[in-house]
């Protein structure tokens, strides 16, 4: 039974790996589940055993590729570090991880391609990941408020605005990597980015 479960998981992972390759080459719209099955050497029924439909397969790929960065952020925000060090580590570690990872770049490119081809489907994907995103943004906001309470951060700006700025910097940096000639925050700029953010948070 254990072996069967492991084999099923291996097949699921194989289908996701193959689907990423096919989606990236042909585009989401032009790809059929039968194409993925043929490329993976399995039946179409095997694909449906693991995924409800093509969109479900894509969402599984995007979620898996984003998980390491969600886990990194969660690890920092749930640590015993002080508020300032949490924000510093959050920005540096998430940005460094995305800078170094080819998988992260592939994730952003696939997500943007899907958004362009199926804007309504992309909205559904955002709803699909909203629980994790709300949890993370809530943790960042709580960290900012903790820093404001002890005088480590300026208290004249709503913590939610600061959270939005941090999220915008990280997402914007990741998005620019997918645009030729637009990587304005390249590898090695994490410390400069976090210094600017922390400087803006200093009490006035």
Amino acid 112: pLDDT: 77
Amino acid 1: pLDDT: 42
Burial class from Cβ neighbours inside 10 Å (0-12, 13-18, 19+) for residue 19 reads: buried
Cβ contacts of 186 within 8 Å, gap of 6 or more: 99
In 10 A of CB 122, how many CB atoms?
17
pLDDT tens digit sequence for 137-164 = 999 999 999 999 999 999 999 999 999 9
- Using DSSP's 3-state secondary structure scheme, residue 204 falls into coil
Comparing C-alpha atoms, which of 155, 129, 157, 8 is closest to residue 70? 129
- Low-confidence stretches of the chain (pLDDT beneath 50): 1
Amino acid 95: pLDDT: 84
Amino acid 157: pLDDT: 95
Domains and CATH numbers, the chain: 1-51 (1.10.10.60), 62-201 (1.10.357.10)
Comparing C-alpha atoms, which of 157, 136, 150 is closest to residue 84? 150
Contact status, residue 46 vs residue 11, Cβ threshold 8 Å: yes
Give CA 59 to chain center in angstroms: 12
Q: Cα separation of 160 and 145, whole Å? A: 9
pLDDT tens digit sequence for 75-104 = 999 999 999 999 999 999 888 877 766 666
The two tokens of residue 27 are 């585009």
């Amino acid at each position: 039974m254990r072996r069967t479960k492991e084999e099923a998981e291996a097949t699921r992972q194989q289908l996701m790996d193959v689907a990423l390759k096919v989606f990236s080459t042909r585009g989401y719209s032009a790809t059929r589940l039968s194409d993925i099955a043929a490329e993976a050497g399995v039946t179409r029924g095997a694909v449906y055993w693991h995924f409800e439909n093509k969109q479900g397969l894509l969402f599984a790929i995007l979620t898996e590729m984003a998980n390491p960065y969600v886990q990194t952020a969660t690890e920092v925000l749930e640590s015993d570090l002080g508020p300032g060090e949490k924000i510093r580590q959050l920005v540096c570690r998430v940005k460094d991880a995305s800078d170094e990872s080819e998988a992260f770049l592939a994730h952003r490119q696939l997500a943007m391609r899907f958004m362009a081809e199926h804007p309504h489907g992309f909205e559904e994907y955002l709803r699909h990941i909203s629980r994790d995103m709300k949890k993370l943004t809530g943790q960042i906001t709580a960290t900012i408020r903790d820093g404001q309470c002890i005088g480590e951060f300026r208290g004249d700006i709503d913590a939610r605005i600061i959270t939005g700025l941090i999220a915008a910097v990280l997402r914007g940096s990741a998005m620019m990597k997918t645009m030729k000639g637009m990587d304005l925050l390249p590898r090695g700029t994490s410390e400069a980015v976090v210094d600017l953010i922390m400087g803006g948070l200093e009490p006035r």
